[in-house]
Amino acid sequence: MRRVIGTAMAALAFISALAHADPPCGGHYKSWGRVCYGGAHVAAKTIEWYSTFSACGPSPYEVIHSELGGDKPRVAYRFKKRSKQCGFEVMEIVAQKEGYWGIRGYMSVEDYRERRDDPAAYTACPVDPMPAERCNLPFACKMK
């Protein structure tokens, strides 16, 4: 009986860990500059992004694109419930140049999917690297 209970508890702990798995590149990203001052936060259930030009409060999200390999690794999140002050439907974390990366905001999923690399389709902010092991994008960890 003890073995059955122990096995059941271990299975529940494993399932619970999967249910609360960290999102791709979860953590806090600090941005700077006159229009980009603020930051973004990616958590297990919500994302948010604050800057001088937009205030996207905590919102549930879905990952609409994740390309972790290649020349330009990126993860794109869609805000499921935007506040009135949020000017974006999609927030993307993307490598920009070697050693530099940022967050891009797109007004719609269509803009992201059809014009993702067109600078006229997004607003971008440089961000600090995030020191986290749970993000496997090669540009996401601070240099040591």
pLDDT in tens, 106-136: 999 999 999 877 888 898 898 876 554 455 5
- Mean pLDDT for the chain? 75
pLDDT at 42: 87
pLDDT at 13: 38
Planar angle of CA 25, 77, 52, nearest 5 degrees = 90
Backbone angles phi, psi at 36, to 5 degrees: -105, 5
pLDDT at 18: 34
Domain residue spans of the chain: 22-126
User: Does the pLDDT of residue 75 top 60, yes or no?
Assistant: yes
Cβ of 14: how many Cβ atoms within 10 Å?
10
pLDDT at 102: 86
Q: What share of the chain is helix, strand, coil (3-state, %, to 5)?
A: 20, 35, 45
Which comes out higher in pLDDT, residue 140 or 101? Answer: 101
Cα gap 121→110, rounded to integer Å? 10
H helix intervals, 2-143: 2-19, 109-115
pLDDT at 12: 37
Cα gap 26→23, rounded to integer Å? 5
DSSP 8-class letter at 1: -
Which comes out higher in pLDDT, residue 106 or 35? Answer: 106
Cα gap 87→123, rounded to integer Å? 10
Cα gap 5→80, rounded to integer Å? 39
